[in-house]
Amino acid sequence: MPFEAGRGEHHLYRIPQESPVDRLPLTTGQHYVGIDAVSWFAEKQGSWYADYMASGTLEIMLNLGAKEEEKYELALGSFELKKGAKTAPVFDEPVLPDRCYRGGPIRLRAVLYDLKKDTAIASLLNSAASASLGVVAGMVQTATLAGPSKVLGDAGGALVGGVKTILENKANVKEPLFDLSGIKKSFQPKDLVGPEIYFLFHRGDKLDGSALKVKDDGEITRPFLNDQPLEDGAWLLLRVRRSSEYSGFRDWFATKDSFSFKLKNLIDDVASTAKTKEDALKELKPGGLGSETLFDEYSKLRGIIENDGVLTPAERLIHVTGLYALLTNARTSIQSNAPQNFMPAVKQIHASLLSGNPSTSVQRLFDELQSGSAFRNLKKTDMVNIIRLAPNFKHSLDSAFLMKRPKRIA
């Protein structure tokens, strides 16, 4: 007999997805971590679904123990089921977009509540959920090397704090489906092996963890116990993802596209004699007061990329190297009156990095780049190791050198 939601003991089950190829653990500075809310469930009988709804909050803590810990707070909206359905309509919702893993344990805390059904409160909870997702996405999108924006973090905390006030109001709440302090789990990077792992926050009967699997039944992704959908107590299923190459979109991608094509147009103008060699070379030097050149655009963009707190050092270095290679090869091809050599030289650097065995000229390029940049503190061995990682970042290499927009990685 399944436990009714709000009864039983609290459990947290780790459900790994075995990969025969990828058995690497989450590694500081080399991997991205992202989290999805996959699905959630409440076992209730009788008129509960007509009279009550469920809601909750989720807290994600990264970089624990560091001076600048990262706290992401989210509202889960309202859980109102119809026509006998029991699994809430939350399907693979990204609650934490991919960001560079900066080290330390990761903590998750989930709270679920049972509330009297109220259309106004449900609308408020759903609006808060949408807004909190936007705040978290904004925190990640704008993160620098110092971490996410404190202003946005405070705004997210205040937003979810308002939701907690509603959920903890005895006039609204029938009972907590999870304990008032929630179900908490801290895990170390060694616990996250392979591309993804599921965490099942559950209150109900004690389950055989070895019999739990996560499957897509054609409608939603949910936990199964002995090949049967889990319909016991209350549960929330989260997916933690680990990847090597960034799958999202950075705001500066568009700026970088614009710069790359302006540079290519400059080369074409020289080749067609629409612009003189001298005028073109002026564009590749710092401009005077009130006169911004392509070199000035490069300097600003390079600074933005170097200070990007979402990308790994390897991907930041690849994009900056691409910019630097475009600029230096543009200058060389114009000075030597051979604009036709511009793209072949850039493609040669791209191929050298993609091979994982950079040529001597590419090594020199990295040496020049390291001087006076955000990468100047990297040791020579670190630089070599990052270069060796280059073949793993084909999309970034294509974007950096071949002027192709990065594609989302499936």
**Residue 410 pLDDT:** 40
Q: What pLDDT digit, counting tens, does each position of 71-92 carry?
A: 999 999 887 665 556 665 556 7
Asked if pLDDT for residue 134 goes beyond 70, the answer is yes
Asked if pLDDT for residue 289 goes beyond 60, the answer is yes
Q: What pLDDT digit, counting tens, does each position of 221-237 carry?
A: 899 999 999 989 999 99
Asked if pLDDT for residue 356 goes beyond 70, the answer is yes
Pick the most confident of 40-49, 169-178, 272-281, 342-351.
Answer: 272-281
Pick the most confident of 119-123, 156-160, 342-346, 350-354.
Answer: 156-160
Beta strands 9-16 and 196-204 are antiparallel
Asked if pLDDT for residue 52 goes beyond 90, the answer is no
**Residue 155 pLDDT:** 93
Percentage of the chain beyond pLDDT 70 is 90
**Residue 409 pLDDT:** 43
**Residue 372 pLDDT:** 56
* Separation of first and last alpha carbons in the chain: 40
Q: What is the 3-state secondary structure (H, E, C) of 201-243?
A: EEEECCCCHHHEEEEECCCCEEEEECCEECCCCEEEEEEEEEE
The confidence band for 321, taking pLDDT boundaries of 50, 70 and 90, is confident
Question: What average pLDDT score do residues 169-191 get?
Answer: 86
**Residue 391 pLDDT:** 77
Token digits for 74?
């989210």
Angle at 45 between CA 39 and CA 48, to 5 degrees: 80
Question: What average pLDDT score do residues 98-114 get?
Answer: 92
Token digits for 3?
């436990």
Question: Which of 20-34, 285-299, 379-393 has the weakest average pLDDT?
Answer: 379-393
H-assigned helices in 355-402: 360-370, 380-389, 394-402
CA distance 184 to 338: 63
More confident: 104 or 406: 104
**Residue 219 pLDDT:** 77
Mean pLDDT of the chain: 86
CA distance 162 to 156: 10
More confident: 166 or 358: 166
Asked if pLDDT for residue 375 goes beyond 70, the answer is no
More confident: 201 or 325: 201
**Residue 373 pLDDT:** 59
CA distance 284 to 328: 9
The confidence band for 378, taking pLDDT boundaries of 50, 70 and 90, is low
Question: Which of 17-26, 133-142, 331-340 has the weakest average pLDDT?
Answer: 17-26
Asked if pLDDT for residue 296 goes beyond 80, the answer is yes
Asked if pLDDT for residue 220 goes beyond 90, the answer is no
User: Residue ranges of the domains in the chain?
Assistant: 9-243, 252-402
Token digits for 336?
């030597």
Closest CA to 201 of 8, 2, 40, 43: 40
Asked if pLDDT for residue 135 goes beyond 60, the answer is yes
More confident: 28 or 380: 28
Question: What average pLDDT score do residues 202-206 get?
Answer: 94
**Residue 136 pLDDT:** 95
The confidence band for 370, taking pLDDT boundaries of 50, 70 and 90, is low
**Residue 408 pLDDT:** 47
